[in-house]
Structure 1
Amino acid sequence: MPATAPAVPVSLAQLRAAASALGPSEGRVAEVLLGRPAEVIDWSTQEVAQAAGTSTATVVRACQTLGFRGFQHLRLELARVGAEPARAAAPAGAPDAIARAFDDAADALRLSRDRIDRAHAAAAVDLLASAQRILFTGSGFSAPPLQDAALRFATIGRPVEAPADVLAQQFAAHSLGPGDLCVALSYSGANTHTLATVRAAASRGARVLAITSFARSPLTRLADIALFSGGSQPAHGVDPFLSRLSQFVLLHALHQLLGERNGLPDPSEMRTVVAEALIEGAE
């Protein structure tokens, strides 16, 4: 990547202006990116290269010249800016910020609900039900839904491991084997640490369940089953909050389906655990 890369464009108009400085081969890449942004967010680097009549190396180089770390980074920005028109200035009398936040969340959850392949979800439950060990891997903004799900699955007797440290996740993956399951959460599907854990798990014969936002990504290519919990939605800075919210709900749904299949245990013991964690006489 050039040492003095330009700032990441924050709109398609700025991306178009930056593309004017590219050479012929890289220019064809930019034409594809700008001409078909809604499709590109679900493409692989190879598919962009084929559409532009060039190589994957040229695609990556074009993205870096435009100021991105690579194609995966540019793809995330295209997903973000593609949703920006929905965030136009609100007319007088529009809902306040709190109402908008809840409306955005409700819309995002409905979109995710309709996008989830029910047959793939059933197959995911099969994997969760039959696994001898289950390792959850994810980092950054994917860590909160991962830790929440680990607690939930523990309440129905599933042998779940969810190390918070990314190296601990990779160490655990190296001890998996046939009959085990690695559940990977990643908004982009291109998180380096998560991919390293998944590759280690798969190389040892473990199955892989991926939960991500993009149908085509490095993570989905490694997965036995992939569930898509949300794509381009209104921008929230660097935090893909609405997709993370969808991850929470999807994992909760898988927990419910698994509980219904296996029969939920008597909740009295779990309630006792919670009760004993409360401080007597707290004011």
Structure 2
Amino acid sequence: MANQDIFTLIHSRYNSFTNTEKKVADYILENIKGVIYMSITDLADACNVGESSVFRFCKTMDLKGYQEFKIVLAHSISLDNETPQLSSMITMQDTIEELASKALSSNINALTETFNLITENNISNAVESMVQAERIHFFGVGTSLMTAMEAKNKFMRITNKTECSLDSHLQVMSAALMTEKDVAILISYSGSTKDTIEVAKVAKERGAKIISITRFAKSPLTSFSDITLLCGANEGPLQGGSLSAKIAQLYLLDLLYFEYFKRTNKEAVHNKELTAKAVIEKML
């Protein structure tokens, strides 16, 4: 299905769409490139329809869901372009010098936009929740799991109450054992990953504080969040795991870390000395 031209498909089936599906189709055709970077919630809001209507539109197109729709859309845009693109900025014709410059610009833009999206109250409340928590769980799937592991590695140097499970089944079981004294930090660029949403739902039912690190203010994940921290990187459906998105997430985690360190200074310094001493024998 990836080689299917989505625009031809929409036009060929347009007359069979319901009025709601036509609203979705019209918006997509008028905002082709922007839709690639929209969550299902953003698209639904833009079309003044429900998320279920967008999902039904995708099913009507014989697609499994919204993510597959975005993948097909990205392929269709590539087919329309004379110059193949690896991302929104980088092309197959770029020299190494141009690649280096564009990669630098992409990462700087992601960090700058993330900085502009920071809300001081959200950061302060998130850190205060972490300080007061008995346990802090980091959750993620795929590339976001690696970011969650980075967070675990960073925070365990200054506190002994962090956890990060590597398997989606173990994650949801951990969520089921959380209490109102725990904090769940869920990392998901799209905010639409099924396993992560399930973890958020279970943790919320257990009364845990939910902190989300994501790209979109409105998504299935943020509907469960007490605090949402937004990262500013744009990642297309064919760019899964882009470093600019990960760098933006790590920047937010760095900010949480430094503020946590400040608020627990005496304990943090003591634990940092202990953990540093524990691994020093491993170094030459």
Give the TM-score taking structure 1 as reference length. Answer: 0.81
State whether residues 45 and 71 of structure 1, in contact with CA within 8 Å, keep that contact through their aligned partners in structure 2. Answer: no
Correspondence for 1:150 among 131, 149, 152 = 152
Structure 1 residue matching 2:149: 3-state secondary structure = helix
Structure 2 residue matching 1:114: 3-state secondary structure = helix
Distance 1:237 1:29 in 2: 24
The aligned amino acid for 1:211 is I
Structure 2 residue matching 1:21: 3-state secondary structure = helix
Gaps of 5+ in 2: 79-84
Q: Structure 1 residue 230: deviation in Å?
A: 2.2
Structure 1 residue matching 2:269: 3-state secondary structure = coil
Residues 116-170 of structure 1: CA deviation (Å, up to 9, x unaligned): 2222111111111111111111110001111111121112215011011111111
Structure 2 residue matching 1:232: 3-state secondary structure = coil
Residue number in structure 1 paired with 2:41: 44
The aligned amino acid for 2:41 is S
State whether residues 7 and 67 of structure 1, in contact with CA within 8 Å, keep that contact through their aligned partners in structure 2. Answer: no
Q: Structure 1 residue 276: deviation in Å?
A: 1.9
* Residue 62 (str. 1) matches residue 84 (str. 2): no
The aligned amino acid for 2:215 is S
Correspondence for 1:273 among 269, 272, 278 = 278
Residue number in structure 2 paired with 1:232: 234
Residue number in structure 2 paired with 1:3: none
Residue number in structure 2 paired with 1:24: 17
Distance 2:269 2:170 in 1: 30
Change (3 A) 1:114 1:48: closer
Correspondence for 2:170 among 168, 171, 176 = 168
Structure 1 residue matching 2:178: 3-state secondary structure = coil
Moved more, 103-112 or 29-38: 29-38
Residues 206-240 of structure 1: CA deviation (Å, up to 9, x unaligned): 11111111111110000111111124257863323
Which contiguous aligned blocks of 4+ residues in structure 1 show a shift greater than 6 angstroms? 76-83
Structure 2 residue matching 1:265: 3-state secondary structure = helix
Residues 61-83 of structure 1: CA deviation (Å, up to 9, x unaligned): 22234464323554687799799
Distance 1:218 1:259 in 2: 31
Structure 2 residue matching 1:215: 3-state secondary structure = coil
State whether residues 39 and 190 of structure 2, in contact with CA within 8 Å, keep that contact through their aligned partners in structure 1. Answer: no
Percent identity between matched residues is: 24
Structure 2 residue matching 1:123: 3-state secondary structure = helix
Gaps of 5+ in 1: 1-5
The aligned amino acid for 1:265 is V
Change (3 A) 1:247 1:44: same
State whether residues 187 and 240 of structure 1, in contact with CA within 8 Å, keep that contact through their aligned partners in structure 2. Answer: no
Change (3 A) 1:124 1:107: same
Change (3 A) 1:74 1:213: farther
Q: Structure 1 residue 49: deviation in Å?
A: 8.8
Q: Structure 1 residue 34: deviation in Å?
A: 2.8
Residue number in structure 1 paired with 2:2: 7
Structure 1 residue matching 2:221: 3-state secondary structure = helix
